[in-house]
Amino acid sequence: MRPIDKGSWPTKDSHATRKRVFNDWTRAIPYLKGRTGRYCHLCELKVSNAMAIEHIKSKKYFPRLQAHWDNFLLICNYCNSHKLATITISPYKKTYYWPHLNNTIMAFDFRITGEIIPNRTYLTTKPQIDRASATIDLYGLDKVVTAQGNSDDRLKDRLEAYKQAIDRFIEFSTGKASIHAIVDNAKNTGFFSVWLKVFNSVPNVKAALIDCLDFHLATTYCFNSTYQPIPRNPTFTADPI
Ligand SMILES: [Zn+2]
């Protein structure tokens, strides 16, 4: 899961210090798209049609947060449909991992088989693994059908991204694919985590993927100068990611 930075609460054009009102929360979508791209904050699917606002704390139980910028994520309709079937458990910051709060590239493993599982390279204790599993369950990140029983394109598109990434890896190994072409391909398919995993052993491609502005990664907080992932808030929390 891509770690992102939503930035601060958007302000009114006429009053740079006054927060924009999001009583209609769909009006936050253009701001989130502009700041974080067209990729689902949770599953990393590239979304060409309508995206949804996820209220981390539900509108039903926390009505005062329904227009609150900090409570928004930008997600695809598949993640949204699974979330609608359940609710976020409190305290949400300790129960789940979040792309705007944690370095989520360290929390989840996008496997070549299509599964998404807790990343045991970095998560070593049962509470950490349970926390990653809870996030996967909350949004049905590992599902193959939607909550309504329809085909879930997240798995299909994730596997397609893997196929293309491996094809480019083979081409790159034989001098037939440029770094620029690889990054362009990654932007097209989405699933940054898949591309990063396939090219993890190729430092210059890995660096180009992490530095690609289209992915809007919270690079400053989440990677060191040698492009290794680092804990996002080490002084704020003892959590390793
Ligand atoms: Zn999604």
pLDDT above 90 for 150: no
**CA dist., res. 24 & res. 40, Å (int):** 20
Q: How close is the Cα of 41 to the center of ligand 1, in Å?
A: 7
Range of the domain at 107: 25-222
Q: How close is the Cα of 51 to the center of ligand 1, in Å?
A: 9
pLDDT above 90 for 213: yes
Domain-embedded: residue 116: yes
Q: How close is the Cα of 176 to the center of ligand 1, in Å?
A: 32
Domain-embedded: residue 154: yes
The β-bridge relationship of strands 72-75 and 108-110 is unpaired
Domain-embedded: residue 9: no
- pLDDT for the residue 235: 61
Domain-embedded: residue 4: no
Domain-embedded: residue 3: no
Q: How close is the Cα of 40 to the center of ligand 1, in Å?
A: 5
Q: Count of alpha carbons within 13 Å of 235, Cβ hemisphere only?
A: 1
Q: How close is the Cα of 17 to the center of ligand 1, in Å?
A: 32
- pLDDT for the residue 83: 87
Q: How close is the Cα of 175 to the center of ligand 1, in Å?
A: 34
Domain-embedded: residue 237: no
Mean of pLDDT over the chain: 93
The backbone region for 28, taken as left when phi is positive above 0, alpha when psi lies in -120 to 50, beta otherwise, is alpha
pTM, rounded to two decimals:
0.94
Q: For 12-65, what is each residue's pLDDT tens digit? A: 887 778 999 899 999 999 999 999 999 999 999 999 888 999 999 999 889 999
- pLDDT for the residue 175: 96
**CA dist., res. 153 & res. 134, Å (int):** 21
Q: How close is the Cα of 153 to the center of ligand 1, in Å?
A: 10
Number of domains in the chain: 1
| Tokens standing for residue 192 | 């940054």
Q: Among residues of the chain, what percentage have pLDDT more than 90?
A: 80
Domain-embedded: residue 2: no
Q: For 165-188, what is each residue's pLDDT tens digit? A: 999 999 999 999 999 999 999 999
Domain-embedded: residue 153: yes
The better pLDDT of the pair 190, 48 is held by: 190
- Tell me the β-bridge partners of 39: 46
pLDDT above 70 for 206: yes
pLDDT above 60 for 237: no
